[in-house]
Amino acid sequence: MSDYMKRIDLKRDYLAHRAEYLKAIEAVCEETAFSGGIYADVFDKEFAAYVGTEYACGVNNGTSALHCAMLALGVGEGDEVIVPANTYIATAWGVTYTGAVPVFADCTRDTWEIDPQDAAKKITSKTKGIIGVHLYGQPFDYAGIRRLADRHGLFVVEDCAQAHGAKFQGKNVGTLGEMGCFSFYPGKNLYAFGEGGSVTCDREEYYSHITRLKNQGCDVRYYHDEVGYNYRLEGIQGAVLSVSLKYLPEWTAKRQKIGKRYLEEITNPLITMQAHPADTEPVFHLFVITVPDRDEFVSYMADANVECSLHYPVPCHLQRAYAHLGYRRGDCPNAEYLSEHCVTLPLFPEMREEEIERVIGLCNAYRG
Ligand SMILES: *Cc1c(COP(=O)(O)O)cnc(C)c1O
């Protein structure tokens, strides 16, 4: 079907920069710098410069980035870390892998980001920190979360997996908290040709600890000072990411242009959009809306050959994997409302004018 519109189409980027990507991959092969190595190291430097931190420590995916950040902050058995209920599950995995317990806080009704007031209610004597997520590319209320954390002596880690290049009060995400955790999964705003992730920070202590953790727990080869992991970034991913990083500002500008058009031109009262506070610069990783009858809207779009998706159909606190924590429906009502009413519209940098207009037209013509 020629007019079928995918929610996201990565092939267009590949075709646009094919020669450059393949040349970068070939260079890694020529040097056989496959695991870690020069191309992964060069990307770390470039990514730190882009984000604006002293260090960026490349790892094999965003979930490992979160796991390493928790380990570097000393999180372990007996500890609790507050995370939003409305996020991709991996935010919580990083906590769980250490033996600590994720404690889920609700999101606000309008920004759909972690609610500092609800997070405050979740603090106990076991709480070590808070992971805020810049969800859908929209920065969370860092100032509110930081104030709460400082009052109780807690760390703040940013999950930046969906927000490369977003800004909160003029500052890049990934520079705000103790550490920023990024994912380069295909489909994220900056992505590898496979898996990848990074932890950004200013403190040398965190950087060198994570460098050791991702490298089997050793600083000197075959001398293992602590239990480590094989979480290294692959050379080919580093080389591909160095190419992509050059295009990220252009991609971000395109996402923002499309996101702003949706915000201004979709005027159907049946459709509710995420609130974007004036002191933030979102990067529109996902354009999520809510509608009264979500399933009906998705099939309406599908009938018009437009693919939509759901982020996310089950909030973390109600996932079966966390059934043992004893949460119930009603514990995080805003996150639960979103899980039942959210729909993600197509949005990616290479969208064509007529595709953008088609999405807007269909949304406005929707009668429920
Ligand atoms: C993608 C994502 C992750 C996990 O990253 P992976 O690279 O897939 O392991 C973590 N948190 C959020 C919010 C994400 O969107």
Which of 8, 60, 68, 91 is the best mutation target for the ligand 1 pocket, counting ligand atoms within 8 Å of the beta carbon and taking the most? 91
The tokens describing 182, both together, are 């990024």
Which of 88, 188, 241 is the best mutation target for the ligand 1 pocket, counting ligand atoms within 8 Å of the beta carbon and taking the most? 88
Which of 8, 159, 173, 214 is the best mutation target for the ligand 1 pocket, counting ligand atoms within 8 Å of the beta carbon and taking the most? 159
Burial of 268 (0-12, 13-18, 19+ CB in 10 A): middle
Cis omega (within 30 of 0) for bond into 312: yes
Tell me the pLDDT tens digit for each residue of 201-210: 999 999 999 9
Nearest-atom index, ligand 1, CA of 135:
13
pLDDT beneath 50: ranges in the chain: none
Residue type, 191: Y
Do 278 and 131 touch, CB atoms closer than 8 A? no
Please provide the DSSP assignment of 307-365 as one string: --B-S-SS-GGGSGGGGGG---TTSSHHHHHHHHHEEEEP--TT--HHHHHHHHHHHHH
Residue type, 290: T
pLDDT at 256: 98
SS3 183: strand
SS3 157: strand
pLDDT at 2: 60
pLDDT at 344: 98
Please state, in angstroms and rounded to a whole number, the distance separating the CA atoms of residues 142 and 180: 12
Closest CA to 124 of 93, 81, 155, 86: 81
Ligand 1 — pocket residues by CB below 6 A? 61-63, 87-88, 90-91, 133, 159, 161-162, 183, 185, 195, 197
- CA of 105 from ligand 1 middle (Å) equals 18
Please state, in angstroms and rounded to a whole number, the distance separating the CA atoms of residues 202 and 222: 28
Tell me the pLDDT tens digit for each residue of 333-354: 999 999 999 999 999 999 999 9
- CA of 66 from ligand 1 middle (Å) equals 9
**Residue ID of nearest Cα to ligand 1 atom 2:** 161
Please state, in angstroms and rounded to a whole number, the distance separating the CA atoms of residues 229 and 218: 10
Confidence (pTM): 0.98
Q: How far is CA 105 from the centre of its chain?
A: 17
Do 128 and 75 touch, CB atoms closer than 8 A? yes
Per-residue b or e along 336-363, where b marks 16 or more CB atoms closer than 10 Å to that residue's CB = bbbbebbbbbbbbbebeeebbebbbebb
- CA of 276 from ligand 1 middle (Å) equals 22
pLDDT at 335: 98
Which of 93, 133, 162, 199 is the best mutation target for the ligand 1 pocket, counting ligand atoms within 8 Å of the beta carbon and taking the most? 162
**Residue ID of nearest Cα to ligand 1 atom 5:** 62
- CA of 87 from ligand 1 middle (Å) equals 9
User: The tokens 């892998």 sit on which residue?
Assistant: 97
pLDDT at 201: 98
Closest CA to 157 of 138, 182, 136, 137: 182
- CA of 301 from ligand 1 middle (Å) equals 27
- CA of 103 from ligand 1 middle (Å) equals 18
Nearest-atom index, ligand 1, CA of 63:
9
Closest CA to 241 of 292, 293, 183, 295: 183
